[in-house]
Amino acid sequence: MRELERNRDAEASSALHRLAVIGDGRTGGSVTHAARAAGLDVHVGRRGTSAATASLAEVALLCVPDRSIASACAELAEADPLPAYVGHVSGAAGLDVLAAARRRGAETFTLHPLQTIPTPDTDLAGAPAAVSGSSPAARDVAAALARRLGMVPFDVPEEHRAAYHAAAVLASNFLVTLEESATELLTRAGVADARAVLAPLVLRSAANWAEAGSAALTGPIARGDEDTVRAHLAAVRALAPKLEPTYTALAERTRAIAERGAAPSSQDWTTGGTPVNAPQVIRTREELRRALEPARRSGRRIGLVPTMGFLHEGHASLLRAARAGCDVVVMSLFVNPTQFGPNEDLAAYPRDEAADLAMAAATGVDVVYAPDAAHVYPAGYATSVEVGGELTQVLCGDPRRRGSAHFRGVTTVVAKLLNAVGPDVAFFGQKDAQQAIVIRRMVRDLDFPVEVVVGPTVREPDGLAMSSRNVYLEPDERVRARALNQALSAVADAARAGETDTSRALALGHKILTDAGIDPEYLEARDADDLTLAARFGDRPVLVAVAARVGRARLIDNVVVESPQPGAGAAAEVAR
């Protein structure tokens, strides 16, 4: 059976050389970006040019609003030649809206990415994708296209399309509605920046549900504490009476779920027949090497994402990138003691292995390497790896700050992870820009046979860089912490406007930090390759980096200002 599926997938993939994407909005742009990254020959068209564009491809995908699909398909159906396969990306619409192409002999399909797509360059890697087809061949093309775009296809019967889309709305749109209702109630109760206060709880609850299903249910209803529920209702009635029906309806549904009992764990749930398994958790390097040996022997591409746990969307973006580009994905989960100074937060560093494993499962990780400190640094351990020179003596490596010993701890543990895993690719985040630069130098100098990929910084909606340490922030501190990104943006905007003197641009950033009551450890402009001081913008890419303590949290952030051309009207490109 698996051999038959592989043959069908190979046949479907043979039709995926030239793809026509009709629509250049958020979904169309994201599909185009993913398709080109996958090596497809992509032609982009819009209303008025769709027939001409479609005639250049074997497969056409309509990425237009639901109300426009039928008319867009009618226009596309005039293509000569007509693509063999025509599909759309709507979650709600079925195959019937593609009737015009079907009448002209094309097979039709649907492919709906089951995720929010806020921008035209949204990463689709790892997202589930609902597929259906007018024939088995069309369904296979839809599934093959989803895989080429980095997604995980699953089947939705055509007759249950509306139920599928309703479930997606419940899980996504209505979740936002629910959280906004909670935010309103908490605000009325006198809590400032309620969204920032609730966000960690929401994210952890979602991760717990992803791992354990209804077994993750907690709270007064699950405990049978009806007195507390009555107190809740009285408070809601007094502060936000319009939310009382919502609370009552959800309470009734929660009682039913609590009475039903725990759902099966994520170890065996499936997506349309495609298993989504929890990763294998390994505690020793010997077991890790044995587990990876078959993949290594067969030449499969192994990716490593090193983490210290307490994962957030920044980590998830790296895991999805690894899943899209590698055959086997290994995530390390290890809070490295050697990179913490004597007065730093090793003991208090946030940890939540269960939630981390849930995110690993949701992003398609194959192996989690989670050793303990005694295994990584056994008794008598006396060797370290150090990158010398200015790279580790400035910014966070300055002796007045964390010091170069911090980076010695980083490079030592990364070297040990590279030796233990033997990856083809290792993924790091741009938020820790100096760390990424130091690791690149170590890999180059010591001839590690690994490609280092640095993914972009992932931010909260208000611009704050995602960090495990954000959980330390009190509500008022969370608001003040926004100033870090605002300061960086001010410096970058000055460079974009033609300012070449970094000291004048940095002064703008310092003022923003001062106004927010933040005294930074540093706000500096340095060469983005060798970290020497940069006196001007315009010659080479410049890393503008900031570090500051806000309450208990030590936060870092940065932007890279690419070489602007003052006076020429060209904008500096800012990678965040």
CATH code: domain of residue 156? 3.40.50.720
| Domain hosting residue 286, numbered range | 278-455
Which residues are known binding-site members for (R)-pantoate? 339, 435
**Is 230 domain-assigned?**
yes
Same-domain status, 335 and 387: yes
**Is 149 domain-assigned?**
yes
Sign of the CA dihedral running 450, 451, 457, 458: negative
Same-domain status, 302 and 448: yes
Same-domain status, 489 and 512: yes
Same-domain status, 287 and 360: yes
pLDDT at 125: 84
| Cβ 467 vs Cβ 555: under 8 Å | yes
Q: What is the DSSP string of 502-527?
A: HHHHHHHHHHHHHHTT---SEEEEEE
Per residue in 336-351, is it b (16+ CB within 10 Å) or e — as a string? bebbbeeeeeeeebee
Same-domain status, 15 and 79: yes
Question: Quick check: is 315 catalytic?
Answer: yes
Same-domain status, 410 and 341: yes
List C-alpha distances in Å: 362 to 152, 200, 210, 531: 11, 18, 7, 37
User: How many domains does one find in the chain?
Assistant: 4
Q: Which residues pair with 527 in a beta bridge?
A: 542
Q: Which residues contact 521 (CB under 8 A, 6 or more apart)?
A: 401, 547, 548, 549, 554
**Is 177 domain-assigned?**
no
Same-domain status, 231 and 200: yes
Q: Which of 335, 302, 329, 328 is nearest to 316 (CA)?
A: 329
3-state secondary structure string across 28-72: HHHHHHHHHHCCCEEEEECCCCHHHHHCCCCEEEECCCHHHHHHH
Rounded CA-CA distance 55/82 in Å is 6
Q: Which of 88, 112, 165, 315 is catalytic?
A: 315
**Is 148 domain-assigned?**
yes
pLDDT at 261: 59
Same-domain status, 399 and 438: yes
> Cα angle vertex 27, ends 21, 31, to 5°?
50
Same-domain status, 231 and 359: no
| Cβ 276 vs Cβ 267: under 8 Å | no
List C-alpha distances in Å: 438 to 322, 338, 419, 453, 531: 21, 16, 17, 13, 10
**Residue 299 sits in a domain of what CATH number?**
3.40.50.620
**Is 271 domain-assigned?**
no
Rounded CA-CA distance 545/491 in Å is 10
pLDDT at 292: 94
Same-domain status, 377 and 447: yes
Q: Which helix (H) or strand (E) holds 86?
A: strand 85-88
Rounded CA-CA distance 315/247 in Å is 33
Same-domain status, 317 and 447: yes
- Type of residue at 158: E
**Is 266 domain-assigned?**
no
Residue whose entry in the numeric block shows the structure tokens 């690993």: 360
List C-alpha distances in Å: 356 to 119, 313, 360: 26, 11, 6
Which residues are known binding-site members for ATP? 308-315, 429-432, 458, 466-469
Q: Which helix (H) or strand (E) holds 176?
A: helix 173-188
| Cβ 336 vs Cβ 410: under 8 Å | yes
**Residue 494 sits in a domain of what CATH number?**
3.30.1300.10
pLDDT in 10s for each residue of the chain, 576 residues: 334 344 444 444 455 789 999 998 999 999 999 999 888 999 999 888 999 999 999 999 999 999 999 999 999 999 999 999 999 999 999 999 999 999 999 999 999 999 888 889 888 888 899 999 999 999 999 999 999 998 889 999 888 889 999 998 999 889 999 999 999 999 999 998 888 888 888 888 888 787 778 878 888 888 788 888 898 999 999 999 999 999 999 988 998 888 775 333 333 333 333 334 578 999 999 999 999 999 998 899 999 999 999 898 899 999 999 999 999 999 999 999 999 887 777 887 888 888 889 889 888 999 999 999 999 999 999 999 999 988 999 999 999 999 999 999 999 999 999 999 999 999 999 999 999 999 999 999 999 999 999 999 999 888 999 998 888 899 899 999 999 999 999 999 999 999 999 999 999 999 999 999 999 999 999 999 999 999 999 989 999 999 999 999 999 999 999 875 444 433 333 333
Same-domain status, 191 and 288: no
**Is 236 domain-assigned?**
yes
**Is 513 domain-assigned?**
yes
